[in-house]
């Protein structure tokens, strides 16, 4: 159990890739706190599932784009587990639309969760992290590979995640804290399937492995980066995309 004794905080952890990350980190020995907003039943079910398997988990309802919610999330994580060793910035929105008709409300909401939320959570968590800690952002290959229209704003936010990852790696390297960005490609989640709709077969055909990825395959890379074998990797943007962007 490579993460035995560690405490991980995962944003947007109740479903999809986030839930798979929580399950994998728990299986590898970490206590896991995770945030959610609306998926209360899924959050409760995930906590129960991890507990049944002998793990420790805490679900925290909160919006990563709101400073008060972020502060409360950190406080509740510390109250429950006493420390934070691993931060997984996974929470994200994907709101598609043509640029000429894209509303400012949608634009601001995307930035609030995908960029502002990642910054706020990182800033607050760092006050409680020491040498050996890990920050792992969940970006997207859409930051530099976009085969379909109407996702420009989403791609912009994920490009910012990639850039921030590199900058943070430089800033935090002297403290012994690594920062990396896992970039999923076409992973079969509710978020992806609702976004691509009738284009699913066309997009699958563009993946070198000719299939969509599984959430567990993203979680495996996250766990590797969080563990001792990932100690000399920082500032990296690592794709898990089955060759979609090859």
The yes-or-no answer on residue 154 being catalytic is yes
DSSP the chain: -TTTT-EEEETT-SSHHHHHHHHHHHHTT-EEEEEESS-HHHHHHHHHHHHHTT--EEEEE--TTSHHHHHHHHHHHHHHHS---EEEE---------GGG--HHHHHHHHIIIIIIHHHHHHHHHTT--TT-EEEEE--GGGT---SSS-HHHHHHHHHHHHHHHHHHHHHGGGT-EEEEEEE-SB-SHHHHHHHGGGHHHHHHTSTTSSPBPHHHHHHHHHHHHSGGGTT--S-EEEESTTTT-
In the set 36, 102, 145, 154, the catalytic residue is: 154
Catalytic annotation, residues = 154
């Amino acid at each position: 159990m490579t993460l035995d004794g560690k405490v991980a905080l995962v944003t947007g952890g109740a479903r999809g890739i986030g839930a798979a990350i929580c399950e994998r980190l728990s299986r590898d020995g970490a206590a896991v706190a995770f945030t959610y907003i609306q998926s209360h039943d899924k959050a409760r079910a995930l906590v129960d599932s991890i507990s049944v398997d002998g793990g420790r988990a805490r679900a925290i309802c909160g919006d990563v784009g709101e400073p008060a919610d972020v502060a409360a999330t950190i406080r509740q994580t510390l109250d429950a587990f006493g420390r934070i060793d691993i931060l997984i910035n996974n929470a994200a929105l994907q709101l598609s639309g043509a640029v000429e008709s894209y509303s400012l409300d949608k634009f601001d909401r995307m930035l609030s969760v995908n960029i502002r939320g990642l910054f706020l959570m990182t800033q607050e968590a760092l006050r409680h992290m020491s040498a050996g800690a890990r920050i792992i952002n969940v970006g997207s290959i859409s930051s530099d590979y976009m085969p379909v229209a109407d996702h420009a704003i989403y791609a912009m936010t994920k490009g910012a995640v990639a850039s921030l990852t590199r900058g943070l790696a430089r800033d935090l390297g002297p403290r012994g804290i690594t920062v990396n960005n896992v970039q999923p490609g076409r992973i079969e989640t509710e978020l992806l399937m609702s976004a691509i709709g009738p284009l699913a077969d066309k997009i699958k055909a563009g993946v070198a492995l000719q299939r969509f990825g599984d959430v567990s395959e993203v979680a495996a890379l996250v766990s590797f980066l969080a563990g001792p074998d990932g100690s000399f990797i920082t500032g990296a943007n690592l794709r898990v995309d089955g060759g979609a962007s090859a």
